[in-house]
Chain A
Amino acid sequence: MFDVEKIRGDFPILSKKVYGNPLVYLDNAATSQKPRQVIDSLVDYYENYNANVHRGVHTLSMEATDRFEEAREKVARFINAESSDLVMWTRNASESLNLIAYSWGEDNVHEGDEILLTPMEHHSNLVPWQELARRKNAVIKFIPMLENGTLNMGEVDDLITERTVLVSAVHMSNALGTINPVRELGEKAHRQGAKILVDGAQSVPHMPTNVQELDCDFLVFSGHKMLGPTGIGALYVKQDILNTMEPFLTGGEMVLEVSYQEASWADLPMRFEAGTPNIADSIGLGSAVDYLNNLGMENVRKHEKDLISYALNRFQEAGLEGMDLFGPDDPEIRGGVFSFNTVDVHPHDMGTFLDRMGIAVRTGHHCAMPLIRSLGVAATVRASFYLYNTEREVDILVDGVTEALRYFRDGSE
């Protein structure tokens, strides 16, 4: 049973007031809020079994190791990985992407090879490939985008050539909400012998994820966007690819045997986890996964699909003049991201005005500068929903935007 009011009770921050108004938190694509259960799991670790993991023979170290590896198991099951050995901890999706660009990219991308991206990539799934292409003299190509913010899939077959080594695509756009057909992209990539990377930073927190069904070679995501702490993310790589990858960082924890001259590498997944890992936050992410599983990811997705439909309808009803909405109209292929621009009122002024009403939205380019520019604007206002948002909050947003337009356009209240 998906009971939003009950869910809201688990999130201490949601009872906060901003400028005397109840907080309406609509910046979930940037980071999510944390339930009491996740916060408690962090306190529990530090108060009751804080110790370094692996190799320790004392009680606390063994307990910390068990809980740390149990969290990895939870995350692996959450994305239906074949084994928890294929899931590596990183700081966030960005670090996961950089790890792939170095550990896999250095050995597998050569001069003249092609990397195919979408035009709606977050900078984190764009810049590492630009840098790799620069080092290797490789070529980056982009799948064209249609007016409605979806990919022009008809052109993909022509774009994937025998030189294509990687197709890397965001599963859900953080700026438009578009849900991309990554499984289909993967099929097309595999047909030409290319790998498929799925950036799940926005999708893993909001809908069921099954790496075996997606048949993706790489999946990256961040913990803090899915109720978990900041500073913890994960990377999934298919076994046969992972076996061939060189370590990203070297040092402690990731070695099997070390002499003064050389070292051999530890087994997976520790080979990719040099240094003391982020123990507390891994455990916190495990607890976030428990929370999400308890609600059911199908239910989370349905709730957000209902919210985006409601928001699209409410804004259409309001009939506000000079309001441009970005992203697909069809909630079936759209996550809970509501991105818009208003003629005459700059997104930053809108953001400041809404903040004074307690409404937290994001304004700017959303770390997707080339995409926002291609929309012909400098910035957009983005409201992004999560499992604790309500239709009532969408109503408050509609009222806020209406008031802001009146205030800035003609100065009347």
Chain B
Amino acid sequence: MTAVATSTLVRGARASRSTITLKIMMAGSGALFILYVLAHMYGNLKAFSGESAFNEYAEHLRELGQPLLPYSGFLWLFRAALIIALVVHVYAAVVLWKRAQAARPVKYEVSKRRNSSFSSRTMRWGGLTLLLFLVWHLLNFTIVKINPTGGETNNPYQLMVDTFGVWWMTLIYLAAMAALGLHLHHGTFSAAQTLGWTNTAASRTRARTAGWVLAVVVAGGFSLVPLFTLFGVID
């Protein structure tokens, strides 16, 4: 048993090396992802305006910022920011996950949850699910462009219609959106709390509401296109 002794106190404490700083990095990178999924969802909804509107939007993303930026310049800057944010987000998650496991070396025989939401308890495995989905999603639409029907791959609209015309592909995407909705539901509130914005009961309620709204709007908005494609409204 260690006696209370001043020799065990930390010397030269640095706020930047704390677990809270890791959480702030996680909240900041998460905030960028929130902005990104909102913009991405808006782009997807262009599918309801037809093939030309959808493909023009995709092309327009590459022309953004021209002539100040080169072709695809803005897109690559944005991608670079997202990649850095992803590395930061995953790094912080891994460090904190390992820390949490070490902080409870012996598990309880009986453990009863009193207050935590389902979404808050699934942040880590849900996040891992999203990471795996992200790999598939990029292979599907960006890096390799895999058309499950073996059809055209260089027409973004056709690739999308062919993909979501396959029922199990739509199911994979819907499951991923459920994971995203859960992640956003707790992640939004948690980020606000981590950034120190929830100091009153009213601001805490607002942060929880924002989590609900983002989860429903983003997961719901993303799910519209696969569903309407599967049922033949978009073709």
A and B pair up: no
